[in-house]
Structure 1
Amino acid sequence: MNIHFIAIGGSAMHNLAIALYQKGYQVSGSDDTIHDPSKSRLEKYGLLPKEFGWFPEKITNELDVIILGMHAKKDNLELLKAQELGLKIYSYPEFLYEQSKNKTRVVIGGSHGKTTITSMILHVLNYHERQVDYMVGAQLEGFETMVHLTEENDFIVLEGDEYLSSPIDMRPKFHLYKPNIALLSGIAWDHINVFPTFENYKDQFQIFTDSMVNGGSMVYNIEDDNVKDVVESSENHIKKYPYETPKHFIENGITFLETEEGDLPLEIFGNHNLQNLAGAKWICQHMGVDEDDFYEAIASFKGASKRLEKIAENNSSVIFKDFAHSPSKVAATTKAVKEQYSNRTVLACLELHTYSSLNAEFLSEYKGALDAADKAVVFYSPNAVKIKQLEEVTSAQIANAFEREDLVIYTNPSAFKEFLFNQNLEKTAVVLMSSGNYGGLDFDEVKNLI
């Protein structure tokens, strides 16, 4: 099959391109800009476009399939040519479904935790040398790519994102997978540029639940009222398996899980991660991994990339990097760090970077999100607000939204870096939360702070 990617440089797109190349397909692609790690990884497989830009002459009748990424626009020259020629155009999730129609599809959905849960499942299966196809939203230790596709594997594990499929397909990605086995971890309003009300956002999870195949199995977090409502009100003919935070305790900075076989020390921590673990256990059991084998494998799980990722530690200090940016994730991450390091000062730094977080109307959702931290800092770039064509937000609006009088706010990357590098981090746990990089912060430099 001859496949061309429009916007091949995206995190998910380039991984799919590599996976299809490894499967033996002819793969080409275009993009107007590609950054590392996508750039070097595409180059390694000979898939990096020779020059950046859009070239309609690349689109010919010799192509079997076009895969269209979200980075492209509706008026993209290559897309218009493909439409003119009547070529088959797939969104990323559409094509994944086509590749998995004859497999058992396991889809992990939720506003938060889906990358971690998917990573836990893949870690356990990999530990026990069970081969599955997969797509996950983070680079995992022991896995070369974030996408793996074969003809022979019976299962495919998919991280189910609720964001839109492509510029010409406005359906959420996870509506297209039609799962046999699914999980919902939590529902907390996000992507407000696409889902303007919480009710509209929540509806997407109802549609996802109702899209499951007849007789499918839904694993769901019963401690999340919105998830509970969506799943338990569904009239779809599915089996429902609730999960909750398992019993555990913290001793000397280590979280222990209480199991029938004894207390199990974990590499991860925080109630949200323990909920994730409980959900992953149910899914693994549905895939044929028994409880004892799950516990044996999960003990060595260190977390997904940028999800409470420990980047530096000594006897008295620790620094974490975390992808948290939505209010619920920020609150869960900050609370988890404080509970794990209750005898240390917790310094929580949050970059407001996404469309939702920089929206003045959405800011109030952050009320109390940093309350668990001893010191709290918010950084945002006025330039990022301009790029996203939003109304300017002020430091006063941010201070009012978080309702924390001692909140420190920075808009200048150099000033934020100076603040961070001048902190005395003795007996301190630092958590840097962002889907960006604080205006150019070098995390390798940060590692040297302790």
Structure 2
Amino acid sequence: GQAGWLAERLGRGTLNLAGKTTLGGLGALLKRVRLLVGNDTGVSHISAALGVPSVIIFSASDPKRWAPLDLSRHRALGDPTAVPPAGVTPTAVLDEAGRLLAESPVRLQVRGGGAGDLPAIPWPHIKRLLLVYLGSPANLLTMAPAIHAVSYVACETTLLVSSTGASAACLLGGIDRLLIDHDQTLTGPVVFASVYRLVRKVQSGSFDAAIVFTGDSDHPYSAAYVCYLAGIPLRIAASKEFGGALLTHWIRKLADGPMADRSSGLLQLIGLPSPGDEPGIVLPRGVESRVARDLHELDRDLLRGYVLADRADSPALPEQMQGLPVVFRPGVIPVVETAALVKLSRVVVTADPVVARLADAFRRPLVLTGPPATGSDDWRPRRTRSRLLPGALANPVELSEAVKTLLWIEEPAANPGRGWEIQAKRTQDACGERTR
């Protein structure tokens, strides 16, 4: 074939491996080469992902779309889409190859935990910024400090979330506007009409840059593709997989861990300040006072302090714990009202990850029970005193001791008390003005 013909003319010292390597073997081979010279193919994309300098000849594809982004280590020659088409001469290929061999190291220099050198980001010129996170509401709340910190970069900050994360997004400070993927375009099966609607919605924002936040096992490329189609010029995300030109700033390595750490780590790698100690969660205006009035109508003593628990039908929870009445949170209640109940409480007992995140944000002592109550960093509270009791919801003695420890008080004499259940009320969407 052509590879054999070329090897014969190159003479001694030429090793012809055409058709003799697996895909994994090809990747291992490319990691050891000084320079790749070839056409725009899968091999060139693998070399770019591995950080191997390359000279890529474009004879049929568009270099503006498929050329490697790091022009300091890669050269794209030829452009068949130009008028007239730009050809490539052997002399031009050899000249660029010589420059790369003389100037470029074998690998990209790494910094900040493995992220390659990134093109400069003109943050002072970013006026409209889009943030994207499609994960769970509980994880979104842990990202609140990072989202609040990055919101100072742009004049207007918009957050794109899934329909499940929209309720928690209402509590994030620094967000000027919410975009909600009601059709599950980015998390469900691909439907062209849904993709088109979402692209048009994102396009209407005229964003200067987009940052896509992802978990350990997620990839950003569905969201990045929508941002690409919407014409957002800067698209930033971390991913273990190579995604071509979908990302203009690709963080190759970001340490696995909780979303709080991943989001703050991503900000550091792209030159933004780390989140401070602020929780980043803000109650909509009027919600806390309205919930306080509801509590006062039930019992004026509730405003002196209470234990907030998940449900009233649990046989493990008494009506009073450590001298404090127990307020039972119904299962169906807006997240903003739940946040107000958490903020007004003295202690929170819950198996709900969202409620646990809120207690941690407001520094309310927390007894975390059930499946979320593991010792892993993903679930352990960071800002408040806490006790983790897996499966302890059916053990009132352990619950009482946990509450006592957190309050650091002696067991009071038994007093008659009443347990209260807050009734869910129909309320307007507290973040409706920010939602589209």
Is the radius of gyration larger for structure 1 or structure 2?
2
Please report the TM-score for the alignment, with normalisation by the length of structure 1. Answer: 0.31
Please report the TM-score for the alignment, with normalisation by the length of structure 2. Answer: 0.32
